Amino acid sequence: MAKIEDLKEEAKKLLREGKVKYIIGYGVGGNGWTAVPVFIKKPEDVDGLIWDPTCVHNLARFLVDEKRRKAKEKQPDARPVGIIVKGCDSRAIVVLLQEKFIDRKDVYILGVSCEKAGVVDDKKLAKKLKEKKPKKIELGDNGQFIIDTDGGKVEVPVEELLAERCLECKANFPVIYDVLSGDKTKRAVDKPFGSLEKIEALSSEERWNFWRAELEKCIRCYACRSVCPMCYCDECVVDSINMAVAADTSAEEKAQKIKWIQRSSESSENFVYHLVRAIHLGGRCIDCGECERACPLDIPLRFLNKKLEKEAKDLFGYEAGFDSSLPALISCFKDDDPEDFIR
């Protein structure tokens, strides 16, 4: 993992010269070792920034909040916002740029390279360490994580703890940046969609039973939608409660808003919600895995989006988040798009 001393200097300079409003980065969380998002406003706080295998969050999410805040300010401060991004997060920014949700001048991108590693899956770590409580985690020199715990140092090969998305990572270093820390080494990925195989191998009935058992657990806390940088709509079409009401919204408009699904977490309507969200992420999801990590009931949501990502690649040769000048997947077409399923 890149050492981000050079990045910290850049951050201090930016803040001192007032070039950016604030910097979104990773700092040490409440339990003393895992990373949490932090917002640095003053140069002297920059030392609080960390970069280690626990920096799992996709900070691009907070560019959505920044845009909403700016829209409400009477005299908006037009300076860009500094943001620390991994490879996958940078692809999220590319999609936001591609969809004209944010302008390039709004963001000052401080890229960090994961090099030969990535971020740790907290469940894999807990299973590996069992009772031992971790206190710090670093990348060793020859492809292993060094974790010091209350029961002494533990060394584990990187592949055993990496999050699923890192094992299938397509962007070890940011595809877009103003400043980059760490070198541009790629980690070999033999099967980019390997994690899908165990589900695709199941029969149709087995897949149905798998997804029914999983989506039945959903309690509609909408964390998967709230944590996703691509889910930036003010009003979610499939959400029966939230509605963007302005002073001039007419009573009829409010009365006639269609409740596609109800608010109670009834199994079939959980499907409608998650399927619509997955489709709306088709060709936009950059597999940062945050929806699955955030889900309190461990519903494997990543596999819904990963499937559509695979379809977009196989059927239409489209990969999200690499080129912001391309049209979106579903706002373009090719003459030889598959139509075998059409009568």
Partner 1 sequence: MAEEFEPKIVAFLCKWCSSAGSDLAGVSRMEYPANVVPIQVMCSGSISPLYVFSAFNKGADGVLVSGCHPGDCHYIKGNFYARRRLKMVKQLLEYIGLEPQRFQMSWVSAAEGTKYTQVIKDFVKELKPLGPQTKLRRTT
Partner 2 sequence: MEHNLYLPKLAEITGIKEEVAGARAIKTFRTAFTNGTRLEYRCGQCAMLSVFGKGEAMISISSSPLVKDYLQFSILKMGRVTTALHELEVGDIIGIRGPYGNGFPIENWKGKNIIFIGGGIGLAPIWSVLQTTLLQKNEYGELTLIYGARTSNDLVFRQECEDLKRKMSVFLSIDVAEPGWNEFVGFVPQNVLDKKPSPSNTVAITCGPPIMIKFVIKALKDLHFEDGQIYTTVENKMKCGIGKCGRCNIGPHYVCKDGPVYSWAELKNLPQEY
Partner 3 sequence: MEKILSKKALPQWVKTLTSYKVYFPKKDKDERWNYAEIDHEDINLAFLNTTLPPKKLLFPQKELFLEFAKTADGDQETLEVKEILPDEQPVVIFGVRPCDARAAWLLDKVFAGEFTDPYYWKRRNQTTLVGLACDTPPWENCFCLSVEGSPCSEEGLDILLTDLGDKYFVKSLTEKGATLIRAGKKVFQNPKPEDQKRAQAVQAESVKKIKRQLKDARAISSTLKRMFDSPLWDEESMSCIRCGICTYLCPSCHCFDINDELESASPLKGNRVRTWDTCQFPDFTMHSSGHNPRPEKASRLRQRLCHKFQYFVETYDKFQCVGCGRCISLCPVGIDIIKVLEKVNQHGT
Selection from partner 3, partner 2, partner 1, none that 275 binds (CB < 5 to 8 A by kind) is partner 1
Give the tokens for residue 104.
Answer: 């390039």
Q: Give CA–CA dist 9/24, Å, rounded.
A: 15
Tell me if 178 sits within 8 A of 110, measured CB to CB.
yes
Q: Is 17 in the site for partner 2 (CB under 8 A)?
A: no
Per partner kind, with CB cut-offs from 5 to 8 A, the member of partner 1, partner 2, partner 3, none near residue 331 is: partner 1
Q: What DSSP letter does each residue of 199-216 carry, written as one string?
A: HHTS-HHHHHHHHHHHHT
The residues, any chain, with a CB within 8 Å of residue 303's CB and separated by 6 or more, are 195, 196, 199
Element of type H or E holding 111: strand 107-112
Determine which residue in the list 185, 209, 249, 268 makes contact with partner 3, applying CB under 8 A. Answer: 249
Which positions from 231 through 270 interact with partner 2, judged by CB under 8 A? 250-252, 254-255, 257
DSSP state of 334: -
Residue of 16, 19, 42, 127 interacting with partner 3 (CB under 8 A): 127
Residues 23-54: b if buried by 16+ CB within 10 A, e if exposed:
bbbbbbeeeebbbebbbbeebebbeebbbbbb
**Which of partner 1, partner 2, partner 3, none lies near 252, with the C-beta cut-off 5 to 8 A by kind?**
partner 2
Site for partner 1 in 297-326 (CB under 8 A): 304, 307-308, 311-312, 315-316
Phi, psi angle pair for 107, to nearest 5°: -125, 130
Residue labelled with tokens 């379809």: 311
Question: What residues from 25 to 64 belong to the interface with partner 3 (CB under 8 A)?
Answer: 29-31, 34-39, 57, 61-62
The CB-of-245 to partner 2 minimum distance in angstroms stands at: 9
The length of the chain in residues reads 343
Dist CA 223 CA 243 (whole Å): 18
242 belongs to the binding site for partner 1 (CB under 8 A): no
Alpha helices of 81-203 — where are they, by DSSP H? Answer: 87-98, 122-129, 158-161, 164-167, 197-200
Select from 126, 213, 221, 237 the one that contacts partner 1 (CB under 8 A): 237
- Which parts of 268-297 interact with partner 1 (CB under 8 A)? 268-269, 271-272, 275-276, 278-279, 282-283
Binding site for partner 1 (CB under 8 A): 199-200, 204-212, 237-238, 260-261, 266-269, 271-272, 275-276, 278-279, 282-283, 304, 307-308, 311-312, 315-316, 329-331, 333, 335, 337-339, 341-343
Binding site for partner 2 (CB under 8 A): 250-252, 254-255, 257
Binding site for partner 3 (CB under 8 A): 29-31, 34-39, 57, 61-62, 123, 126-127, 133, 217, 219-223, 225-227, 240-243, 245-247, 249, 254, 262-266, 290, 293-294, 296-298
